[in-house]
A and B are shown apart, each in its own frame.
Chain A
Amino acid sequence: MHDNLPFTNKELVFLKELTRQKVEFIVIGLSAAALQGAPMVTQDVDLWFRDIDNSGIKKALKKVGGTWIPSLALNPPMFEGDHVQYFDIVLTVHGIGDFDAEKANTVDVPLGGFSVKVLRLDRIIASKTCLNREKDRMVLPALKSAAKALIAKKPRGAKREKRRSTP
Protein backbone atom coordinates (compact mmCIF):
# COMPACT_ATOMS: atom_id res chain seq x y z
CA MET A 1 0.00 0.00 0.00
CA HIS A 2 2.75 2.48 0.90
CA ASP A 3 5.48 1.17 -1.39
CA ASN A 4 6.12 4.59 -2.94
CA LEU A 5 6.47 6.29 0.42
CA PRO A 6 9.75 6.35 2.28
CA PHE A 7 10.07 4.42 5.49
CA THR A 8 7.31 1.91 5.10
CA ASN A 9 6.93 -1.68 6.13
CA LYS A 10 10.29 -3.10 5.07
CA GLU A 11 12.29 -0.35 6.73
CA LEU A 12 10.31 -0.91 9.89
CA VAL A 13 10.84 -4.66 9.59
CA PHE A 14 14.59 -4.02 9.43
CA LEU A 15 14.56 -1.92 12.60
CA LYS A 16 12.29 -4.40 14.33
CA GLU A 17 14.58 -7.25 13.38
CA LEU A 18 17.59 -5.33 14.73
CA THR A 19 15.82 -5.00 18.07
CA ARG A 20 14.71 -8.66 17.96
CA GLN A 21 18.33 -9.67 17.36
CA LYS A 22 19.24 -7.53 20.39
CA VAL A 23 21.53 -5.34 18.30
CA GLU A 24 22.27 -2.23 20.32
CA PHE A 25 21.82 0.90 18.27
CA ILE A 26 20.68 4.50 18.67
CA VAL A 27 18.93 6.59 16.03
CA ILE A 28 20.81 9.88 15.85
CA GLY A 29 20.98 13.04 13.76
CA LEU A 30 18.10 14.87 12.16
CA SER A 31 16.01 11.73 11.75
CA ALA A 32 16.20 11.32 15.52
CA ALA A 33 15.11 14.93 15.91
CA ALA A 34 12.24 14.35 13.46
CA LEU A 35 11.08 11.26 15.36
CA GLN A 36 10.80 13.44 18.46
CA GLY A 37 8.72 16.01 16.63
CA ALA A 38 11.23 18.56 15.32
CA PRO A 39 10.14 19.71 11.85
CA MET A 40 13.36 18.74 10.12
CA VAL A 41 14.26 17.61 6.62
CA THR A 42 16.69 14.75 6.24
CA GLN A 43 17.96 12.40 3.57
CA ASP A 44 18.90 9.50 5.81
CA VAL A 45 18.32 7.71 9.06
CA ASP A 46 21.61 7.53 10.94
CA LEU A 47 22.07 4.44 13.06
CA TRP A 48 24.82 4.46 15.67
CA PHE A 49 25.77 0.88 16.50
CA ARG A 50 27.46 -0.16 19.71
CA ASP A 51 29.20 -3.07 17.98
CA ILE A 52 29.37 -2.98 14.22
CA ASP A 53 30.44 -6.66 14.18
CA ASN A 54 27.24 -7.83 15.85
CA SER A 55 26.02 -10.75 13.72
CA GLY A 56 22.43 -9.64 14.30
CA ILE A 57 22.95 -6.74 11.88
CA LYS A 58 23.55 -9.11 8.97
CA LYS A 59 20.62 -11.30 10.03
CA ALA A 60 18.34 -8.26 10.04
CA LEU A 61 19.67 -7.22 6.64
CA LYS A 62 18.99 -10.67 5.25
CA LYS A 63 15.40 -10.43 6.44
CA VAL A 64 14.76 -7.46 4.12
CA GLY A 65 17.02 -8.51 1.26
CA GLY A 66 19.76 -6.05 2.13
CA THR A 67 23.50 -6.47 1.76
CA TRP A 68 26.35 -5.49 4.04
CA ILE A 69 29.09 -3.60 2.20
CA PRO A 70 32.29 -3.78 4.28
CA SER A 71 34.48 -0.73 4.77
CA LEU A 72 37.31 -0.22 2.33
CA ALA A 73 40.08 2.31 2.83
CA LEU A 74 38.35 5.63 3.58
CA ASN A 75 34.91 4.29 2.75
CA PRO A 76 32.92 3.31 5.84
CA PRO A 77 30.71 0.22 5.84
CA MET A 78 27.26 0.66 4.38
CA PHE A 79 23.98 -1.08 3.68
CA GLU A 80 22.80 -1.77 0.15
CA GLY A 81 19.29 -2.69 -0.90
CA ASP A 82 15.92 -1.09 -1.61
CA HIS A 83 14.66 -1.45 1.93
CA VAL A 84 17.76 -0.22 3.71
CA GLN A 85 18.55 2.67 1.40
CA TYR A 86 17.58 5.25 4.02
CA PHE A 87 19.90 3.91 6.68
CA ASP A 88 23.44 5.16 7.25
CA ILE A 89 25.89 3.50 9.57
CA VAL A 90 27.54 5.76 12.11
CA LEU A 91 30.65 4.59 13.90
CA THR A 92 31.55 7.67 15.91
CA VAL A 93 29.55 10.64 17.11
CA HIS A 94 31.49 13.80 17.89
CA GLY A 95 30.82 16.24 20.68
CA ILE A 96 29.07 13.84 23.05
CA GLY A 97 30.01 10.79 25.09
CA ASP A 98 30.57 7.25 23.86
CA PHE A 99 27.76 4.85 23.05
CA ASP A 100 27.38 3.48 26.57
CA ALA A 101 27.30 6.95 28.09
CA GLU A 102 24.81 8.31 25.59
CA LYS A 103 22.50 5.32 25.87
CA ALA A 104 21.27 6.94 29.07
CA ASN A 105 20.44 10.06 27.06
CA THR A 106 17.95 8.44 24.75
CA VAL A 107 14.19 8.22 24.56
CA ASP A 108 12.28 5.11 23.57
CA VAL A 109 10.23 5.96 20.51
CA PRO A 110 7.42 3.55 19.63
CA LEU A 111 7.24 2.54 15.99
CA GLY A 112 4.22 0.28 16.08
CA GLY A 113 4.74 -2.90 18.04
CA PHE A 114 8.33 -2.15 18.99
CA SER A 115 10.43 0.81 19.99
CA VAL A 116 13.86 2.15 19.16
CA LYS A 117 16.30 4.19 21.17
CA VAL A 118 16.55 7.73 19.86
CA LEU A 119 19.15 10.26 20.96
CA ARG A 120 17.53 13.02 22.97
CA LEU A 121 17.18 16.37 21.24
CA ASP A 122 19.50 18.21 23.65
CA ARG A 123 22.27 15.69 22.88
CA ILE A 124 21.72 16.09 19.13
CA ILE A 125 22.08 19.84 19.65
CA ALA A 126 25.25 19.28 21.70
CA SER A 127 26.79 17.16 18.97
CA LYS A 128 25.91 19.57 16.18
CA THR A 129 27.14 22.53 18.21
CA CYS A 130 30.49 20.77 18.64
CA LEU A 131 30.76 19.74 14.98
CA ASN A 132 29.90 23.30 13.88
CA ARG A 133 29.87 22.48 10.17
CA GLU A 134 27.91 24.79 7.89
CA LYS A 135 25.07 22.29 7.64
CA ASP A 136 24.97 22.03 11.43
CA ARG A 137 24.86 25.79 11.90
CA MET A 138 21.94 25.94 9.48
CA VAL A 139 19.74 23.58 11.48
CA LEU A 140 20.73 24.52 15.03
CA PRO A 141 18.29 27.44 15.46
CA ALA A 142 15.37 25.21 14.38
CA LEU A 143 16.53 22.37 16.63
CA LYS A 144 16.74 24.74 19.58
CA SER A 145 13.26 26.13 18.92
CA ALA A 146 11.87 22.60 18.65
CA ALA A 147 13.57 21.68 21.92
CA LYS A 148 11.82 24.56 23.66
CA ALA A 149 8.49 23.42 22.22
CA LEU A 150 9.10 19.91 23.54
CA ILE A 151 9.96 21.20 26.99
CA ALA A 152 6.87 23.39 27.08
CA LYS A 153 4.64 20.54 25.86
CA LYS A 154 5.70 18.22 28.69
CA PRO A 155 3.24 18.09 31.55
CA ARG A 156 4.46 19.54 34.82
CA GLY A 157 5.87 17.12 37.38
CA ALA A 158 6.81 14.53 34.76
CA LYS A 159 10.50 15.29 34.41
CA ARG A 160 12.55 12.10 34.56
CA GLU A 161 9.75 9.69 33.83
CA LYS A 162 8.78 11.41 30.60
CA ARG A 163 12.34 11.69 29.43
CA ARG A 164 12.38 7.97 28.76
CA SER A 165 9.57 8.01 26.25
CA THR A 166 8.51 10.21 23.39
CA PRO A 167 5.57 12.61 23.88
Chain B
Amino acid sequence: MQLSSDKFKKRCAQRRISLGDVLKQAGVSRTAYYSLIRKESVLPKSILRIASHLSISPVALLDNDDAKIKQIRRLQAKANVISSKYPECDRDVIFRTLLNLEKPPVERLRRALIRARQPTIHK
Protein backbone atom coordinates (compact mmCIF):
# COMPACT_ATOMS: atom_id res chain seq x y z
CA MET B 1 0.00 0.00 0.00
CA GLN B 2 2.61 2.46 -1.17
CA LEU B 3 1.68 5.81 -2.64
CA SER B 4 2.60 6.11 -6.30
CA SER B 5 4.29 9.34 -7.32
CA ASP B 6 3.65 8.37 -10.96
CA LYS B 7 -0.10 8.25 -10.30
CA PHE B 8 0.05 11.59 -8.53
CA LYS B 9 1.83 13.15 -11.49
CA LYS B 10 -0.51 11.52 -13.99
CA ARG B 11 -3.58 12.86 -12.19
CA CYS B 12 -2.05 16.31 -12.05
CA ALA B 13 -1.30 16.19 -15.76
CA GLN B 14 -4.87 15.09 -16.51
CA ARG B 15 -6.13 18.15 -14.66
CA ARG B 16 -3.42 20.35 -16.16
CA ILE B 17 -2.12 21.47 -12.82
CA SER B 18 1.34 21.14 -11.39
CA LEU B 19 2.09 18.90 -8.43
CA GLY B 20 3.39 21.93 -6.55
CA ASP B 21 0.10 23.77 -7.06
CA VAL B 22 -1.95 20.76 -5.92
CA LEU B 23 0.12 20.47 -2.74
CA LYS B 24 -0.19 24.19 -2.14
CA GLN B 25 -3.97 24.16 -2.64
CA ALA B 26 -4.35 21.07 -0.47
CA GLY B 27 -2.23 22.60 2.27
CA VAL B 28 0.31 19.79 2.19
CA SER B 29 4.01 20.67 2.43
CA ARG B 30 6.55 19.21 -0.01
CA THR B 31 8.33 17.66 2.96
CA ALA B 32 5.16 15.87 4.06
CA TYR B 33 4.48 14.74 0.48
CA TYR B 34 7.96 13.27 -0.06
CA SER B 35 7.83 11.67 3.36
CA LEU B 36 4.59 9.90 2.37
CA ILE B 37 5.97 8.86 -1.03
CA ARG B 38 9.02 7.29 0.60
CA LYS B 39 6.94 5.23 3.04
CA GLU B 40 6.81 1.50 2.36
CA SER B 41 3.13 1.59 3.31
CA VAL B 42 0.81 4.43 4.17
CA LEU B 43 -1.37 2.03 6.14
CA PRO B 44 -0.36 0.83 9.62
CA LYS B 45 1.41 -2.54 9.55
CA SER B 46 -1.21 -3.98 11.91
CA ILE B 47 -3.93 -3.33 9.29
CA LEU B 48 -1.79 -5.01 6.63
CA ARG B 49 -1.28 -8.04 8.88
CA ILE B 50 -5.04 -8.33 9.59
CA ALA B 51 -5.84 -8.06 5.88
CA SER B 52 -3.18 -10.61 5.04
CA HIS B 53 -4.56 -12.96 7.68
CA LEU B 54 -8.03 -12.59 6.12
CA SER B 55 -6.57 -12.97 2.62
CA ILE B 56 -8.17 -9.71 1.51
CA SER B 57 -6.95 -6.38 0.31
CA PRO B 58 -6.55 -3.79 3.10
CA VAL B 59 -8.80 -1.56 0.98
CA ALA B 60 -11.66 -3.95 1.75
CA LEU B 61 -11.36 -2.97 5.41
CA LEU B 62 -11.80 0.73 4.72
CA ASP B 63 -15.08 2.55 4.84
CA ASN B 64 -15.78 4.37 1.64
CA ASP B 65 -17.70 7.39 2.89
CA ASP B 66 -17.78 8.95 -0.56
CA ALA B 67 -19.73 6.03 -1.97
CA LYS B 68 -22.16 6.13 0.95
CA ILE B 69 -22.71 9.85 0.56
CA LYS B 70 -23.29 9.44 -3.18
CA GLN B 71 -25.78 6.63 -2.51
CA ILE B 72 -27.74 8.74 -0.02
CA ARG B 73 -27.73 11.75 -2.33
CA ARG B 74 -29.02 9.57 -5.18
CA LEU B 75 -31.85 8.25 -3.00
CA GLN B 76 -32.69 11.71 -1.68
CA ALA B 77 -32.96 13.01 -5.22
CA LYS B 78 -35.17 10.06 -6.17
CA ALA B 79 -37.34 10.68 -3.08
CA ASN B 80 -37.74 14.31 -4.15
CA VAL B 81 -38.90 13.26 -7.61
CA ILE B 82 -41.42 10.76 -6.21
CA SER B 83 -42.77 13.11 -3.55
CA SER B 84 -43.24 15.88 -6.09
CA LYS B 85 -45.20 13.43 -8.22
CA TYR B 86 -47.27 12.31 -5.22
CA PRO B 87 -47.52 15.41 -2.96
CA GLU B 88 -49.98 13.65 -0.65
CA CYS B 89 -47.23 11.20 0.35
CA ASP B 90 -44.74 11.59 3.15
CA ARG B 91 -41.31 12.33 1.66
CA ASP B 92 -39.49 10.83 4.64
CA VAL B 93 -41.37 7.53 4.28
CA ILE B 94 -40.57 7.51 0.57
CA PHE B 95 -36.88 8.12 1.27
CA ARG B 96 -36.75 5.43 3.97
CA THR B 97 -38.50 2.98 1.66
CA LEU B 98 -35.91 3.63 -1.04
CA LEU B 99 -33.18 3.20 1.57
CA ASN B 100 -34.70 -0.10 2.70
CA LEU B 101 -34.83 -1.34 -0.87
CA GLU B 102 -31.03 -1.14 -0.95
CA LYS B 103 -30.93 -3.74 1.83
CA PRO B 104 -31.77 -7.44 1.66
CA PRO B 105 -35.36 -8.29 2.71
CA VAL B 106 -34.34 -10.09 5.89
CA GLU B 107 -32.43 -7.01 7.00
CA ARG B 108 -35.52 -4.86 6.38
CA LEU B 109 -37.58 -7.16 8.59
CA ARG B 110 -34.90 -7.31 11.26
CA ARG B 111 -34.86 -3.52 11.49
CA ALA B 112 -38.65 -3.41 11.82
CA LEU B 113 -38.54 -5.90 14.68
CA ILE B 114 -35.59 -4.27 16.44
CA ARG B 115 -37.28 -0.86 16.38
CA ALA B 116 -40.46 -2.31 17.81
CA ARG B 117 -38.50 -3.74 20.71
CA GLN B 118 -36.71 -0.52 21.58
CA PRO B 119 -38.42 0.63 24.81
CA THR B 120 -38.01 4.33 23.98
CA ILE B 121 -40.18 4.03 20.91
CA HIS B 122 -43.30 3.52 23.05
CA LYS B 123 -42.65 6.45 25.40
Contacts and interface: CB of A to CB of B under 8 A. Distances in A.
Interface of A: 5-7, 12, 30-31, 34-43, 45, 86, 109-112, 141-142, 144-146, 148-150, 152-153, 166-167
B94 interface: yes
Interface of B: 78-79, 81-82, 85-86, 89-90, 93-94, 96-101, 104-106, 108-117, 121
12 contacts: A7-B106, A31-B112, A38-B93, A39-B96, A39-B97, A109-B105, A145-B94, A146-B93, A148-B94, A149-B79, A152-B82, A152-B85
B82 A149 contact: yes
B86 A148 contact: yes
Contacts of A141: 90, 93
Contacts, number: 101
Interface SS of chain B: helix
Contacts of A111: 105-106
Contacts of B104: 110, 112
Contact of B114 (A6, A31, A37, A166): A6
